[in-house]
């Protein structure tokens, strides 16, 4: 099996501001968010990152997506270092999270051209891809409506389209349904299942067990910045439910 | 490069098609014009009803010219006393006398017998004070009368022929130049600053607040291109906004002050020097304000962090109110902000040397480059970009 993403001994510590210290109710000046984390994701597989809030999932995915830099360790996509060559890595990844927003003022059509140009696509490539994606997500009819006037569901679809505009080798989802209403969330999960059918490589962080059970080939369980379990879903669950397995592991680790 | 152009185009599209932004950019200029014009017309109505009374002293006035000063609706008081020239000049300076006209003896006769090209023509000297409105009015009226008369008799006498003599008794030579060199540098820099303030504060901090910056950073576009794209589009927009404000001010200025400004002393060179200074000033302000916006967590924070900078710039503008003319020391043209104010004073008072202009422009380009470099570094720094 071909390794597409290799994460090696990632470590990331945040210096906390006074305000963050108060929010955490602790006097600790530093927070180790990711603590020597490693895993591999293979081509054509869907990898699920599972973990409680604050486990370090977002931090890990942000490091992989080149938005932030690790203190130690590195991640490689198709063998290219995220740390040393972020520009190349950006060409190969798509990143979708509810934190990445589109500018309200523009239309899907305009934003498509804009981001496609920033991805250095040619005019012909842009038109071809646009027709394909707008049709697939039913955006065609709304392509000249400003983002702020779109329904949340349609907004989400445009976000998805923009994140995969350059047909990336690997798509990273960070709690993609977080904060979405059920119908909009369904748009996202439907898309995930389509990607699975197409044999795309996906990294998905979530705490929805059922989604992982239905979707993922491989699961990593992160607790307090460390990878506790990293295995095929089938090896992990055997005859138990993922939820039970997770809480068993969690109890052992945290001890409660 | 293409990506930078794409970013510039997108930003400009936003600025120039969003009604709310357009409003905030160009309303100030329009308001300045309307307000100052209204204020000006109220003030002129309240303060000086149309001037119709004049105080004139004439020496050796030819009989034939006596009709000049008989004007419908005017009350021209002709002083009978024969003033000495020096005495009259003193009175004009103090604005007690509006005009002192001294004809040569036997002016009319000499004029009639004068052959063009043979020796000195007879002359008339007219003293006035352009800072007194009544004096300026009657001076221009009287010289017009003489000019008209002279042209009918083919140039047989001279008006104010002595180039070494100061006929205008205003304290300094050109009032327009003086007023403008005092007030304009401060006003112009303030407008340039406020023109940039709104959109620049909003730029990065606003994107952080709305969560759109990361969407841009996830693309393979070079950080330096993103930064330059932002700066250039913000610069163009700020410039458009401040120039509209400035034009509003210039157009309303005559109405506000009641005097008409004579811009004829300023040539093409002035316009280009001014344009150069305006461009670097706007880009410098834009860069600084964008840096502040990038450091800030929210638009509100960015605006309040920018206020001290604004106060600093206004203070530097004011500090030069007392001194007259631009400084001569070349090194002073390297000091940020100060060099902009000094250069503008120099431009408006027509005393800026080319060297100082270039020093100012290039030192500012250097500061802008440092700013852009810093911004690029900041865009690579997650602690700054993701400090929401
Ligand atoms: N920019 C930051 N500054 C300080 N602390 C942070 C920052 N980002 C994340 N953290 C902290 O790091 C830990 C891991 O966060 P995160 O990766 O968001 O977890 P998850 O996504 O698994 O919920 C949390 O305790 C969080 O408070
Ligand atoms: Mg998270």
CB A216 within 8 A of CB A196: no
What's the pLDDT at B35?
Answer: 80
List pLDDT tens digits, range B29-39.
888 788 877 87
Higher pLDDT, B132 or A9: A9
Distance CA A92, CA A88 (A): 7
What's the pLDDT at B173?
Answer: 45
Asked if A95 and B218 come within 8 Å (Cβ–Cβ), the reply is yes
SS3 assignment, position B250? helix
* Average pLDDT of the segment spanning B253-273: 71
Nearest CA of chain A to the CA of B369: how many Å? 23
The pLDDT mean for chain B works out to 84
Domain B53-170 CATH class label: alpha beta
> Is the Cβ atom of A206 under 6 angstroms away from ligand 1?
no
Higher pLDDT, B156 or B63: B63
* Average pLDDT of the segment spanning B180-197: 83
List pLDDT tens digits, range A58-83.
999 999 999 999 999 999 999 999 99
**Phi-psi region for residue B105, left (φ > 0), alpha (ψ -120 to 50) or beta?**
beta
List pLDDT tens digits, range B200-235.
999 999 999 998 999 999 999 999 999 999 999 999
Distance CA B330, CA B355 (A): 8
Cβ burial, residue B272 (10 Å; 0-12/13-18/19+) = exposed
Asked if A67 and B221 come within 8 Å (Cβ–Cβ), the reply is no
What's the pLDDT at B289?
Answer: 96
CB B162 within 8 A of CB B202: no
CB B212 within 8 A of CB A101: yes
Give bridge partners of residue A171 from the DSSP assignment.
A94, A202
Chain region(s) in chain B for CATH 3.40.190: 53-170
CA angle centred on A67, ends A62 and A69, rounded to 5°: 85
Asked if A118 and B210 come within 8 Å (Cβ–Cβ), the reply is no
- Cβ neighbors of A172 (< 8 A, separation 6 or more) are A61, A64, A65, A93, A94, A95, A96, A202, A203, A204
pLDDT at B352 over 90: no
* Average pLDDT of the segment spanning B127-141: 84
Nearest CA of chain A to the CA of B305: how many Å? 19
Provide long-range contacts, Cβ within 8 A and 24+ apart, for B29-34: B29/B241, B29/B244, B29/B245, B29/B246, B29/B247, B29/B248, B30/B244, B30/B248, B31/B248, B32/B245, B32/B248, B32/B249, B32/B252, B33/B247, B33/B248, B33/B249, B33/B251, B33/B252
Which residue matches tokens 């004007």?
A: B71
> Is the Cβ atom of A98 under 6 angstroms away from ligand 1?
no
CB B88 within 8 A of CB B57: yes
Task: Tell which B residues from 206 to 265 touch A, by Cβ distance under 8 Å.
Answer: 210-212, 214-222
Structural Rg of chain A based on CA atoms: 19
List pLDDT tens digits, range A92-116.
999 999 888 999 999 999 999 999 9
What's the pLDDT at B70?
Answer: 81
Angle of helix B19-47 versus helix B2-17 axis, rounded to 10: 50
Cβ-Cβ contacts under 8 Å, A104 against chain B? 210
List pLDDT tens digits, range B358-368.
999 999 999 99
Higher pLDDT, B285 or B267: B285
> Is the Cβ atom of A55 under 6 angstroms away from ligand 1?
yes
Residues of chain A with pLDDT under 50: none
The neighbourhood of ligand 2, an ion, using CB within 5 A, equals A 58
What's the pLDDT at B292?
Answer: 96
Pocket test for ligand 1, best of A11, A24, A33 (most atoms within 8 A of CB): A33
Pocket test for ligand 1, best of B208, B381, B386 (most atoms within 8 A of CB): B386
SS3 assignment, position B358? helix
pTM of the model: 0.78
Distance CA B28, CA B12 (A): 19
CATH of range A3-254; options 3.10.20.340, 3.90.1720.10, 3.40.50.300, 3.20.20.70? 3.40.50.300
pLDDT more than 90, % of chain B: 32
Distance CA B258, CA B249 (A): 14
């Amino acid at each position: 099996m071909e390794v597409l993403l290799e994460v090696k001994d990632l470590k990331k510590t945040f210096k906390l501001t006074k305000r963050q210290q108060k929010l955490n109710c602790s006097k600790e000046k530093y927070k180790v968010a990711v603590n020597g984390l490693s895993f591999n994701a293979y081509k054509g597989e869907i990898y699920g990152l599972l973990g409680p809030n604050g486990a370090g999932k977002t931090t890990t995915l942000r490091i992989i997506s080149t938005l932030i830099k690790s203190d130690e360790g590195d991640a490689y996509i198709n063998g290219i270092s995220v740390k040393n060559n972020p520009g190349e890595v950006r060409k190969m990844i798509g990143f979708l999270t509810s934190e990445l927003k589109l500018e309200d003022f523009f239309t899907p059509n305009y934003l498509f051209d804009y981001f496609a140009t920033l991805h250095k696509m040619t005019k012909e490539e842009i038109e071809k891809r646009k027709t394909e994606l707008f049709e697939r997500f039913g955006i065609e009819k709304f392509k000249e409506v400003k983002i702020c006037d779109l329904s949340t569901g349609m907004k989400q679809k445009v976000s998805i389209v923009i994140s995969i505009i350059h047909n990336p080798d690997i798509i990273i989802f960070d709690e993609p349904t977080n904060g979405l209403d059920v119908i909009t969330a369904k748009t996202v999960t439907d898309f995930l299942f389509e990607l699975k059918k197409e044999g795309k490589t996906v990294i998905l962080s979530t705490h929805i067990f059922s989604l992982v059970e239905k979707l993922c080939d491989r699961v990593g369980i992160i607790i307090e910045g460390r990878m506790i379990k990293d295995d095929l879903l089938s090896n992990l669950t055997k005859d138990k439910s993922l939820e039970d397995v997770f809480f068993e592991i969690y109890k052992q680790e945290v001890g409660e | 490069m293409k990506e930078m152009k794409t970013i510039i185009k997108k930003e400009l599209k936003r600025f120039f098609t969003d009604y709310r932004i357009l409003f905030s950019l160009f309303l100030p200029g329009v308001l300045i014009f309307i307000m100052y014009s209204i204020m000006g017309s109220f003030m002129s109505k309240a303060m000086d009803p149309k001037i119709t009374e004049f105080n004139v002293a004439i020496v050796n006035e030819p009989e034939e010219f006596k009709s000049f000063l008989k004007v419908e609706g005017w009350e021209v008081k002709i002083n009978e006393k024969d003033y000495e020239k020096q005495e009259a000049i003193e009175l004009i300076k103090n604005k007690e006398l509006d005009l002192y006209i001294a004809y040569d003896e036997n002016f009319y006769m000499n004029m009639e017998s004068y052959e063009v090209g043979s020796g000195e023509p007879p002359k008339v000297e007219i003293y006035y004070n352009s800072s007194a409105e009544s004096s300026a009015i009657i001076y221009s009226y009287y010289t017009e009368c003489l000019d008209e008369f002279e042209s009918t008799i083919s140039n047989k006498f001279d008006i104010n022929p002595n180039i070494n003599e100061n006929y205008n008794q205003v304290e300094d030579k050109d009032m327009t130049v003086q007023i403008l060199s005092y007030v304009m540098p401060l006003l112009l820099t303030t407008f340039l600053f406020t023109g940039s303030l709104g959109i620049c504060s909003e730029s990065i901090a606003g994107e952080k607040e709305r969560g759109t910056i990361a969407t841009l950073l996830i693309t393979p576009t070079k950080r330096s291109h993103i930064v330059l794209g932002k700066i250039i589009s913000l610069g163009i927009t700020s410039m458009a906004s401040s120039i509209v404000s400035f034009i509003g001010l210039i157009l309303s200025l005559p109405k506000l002050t009641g005097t008409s400004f004579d811009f004829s002393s300023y040539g093409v060179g002035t316009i280009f020097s001014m344009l150069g200074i305006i461009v670097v000033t706007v880009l410098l302000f834009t860069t600084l304000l964008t840096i502040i916006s990038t450091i800030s967590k929210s638009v509100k924070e960015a605006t309040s962090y920018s206020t001290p900078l604004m106060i600093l710039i206004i203070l530097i503008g004011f500090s030069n109110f007392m001194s007259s003319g631009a400084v001569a020391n070349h090194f002073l043209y390297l000091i940020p902000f100060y060099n902009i104010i000094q250069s503008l004073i120099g431009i408006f008072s027509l005393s800026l040397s080319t060297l100082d202009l270039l020093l100012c422009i290039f030192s500012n380009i250097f500061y802008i480059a440092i700013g852009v470099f810093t911004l690029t570094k900041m865009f690579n720094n997650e602690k700054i970009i993701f400090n929401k």
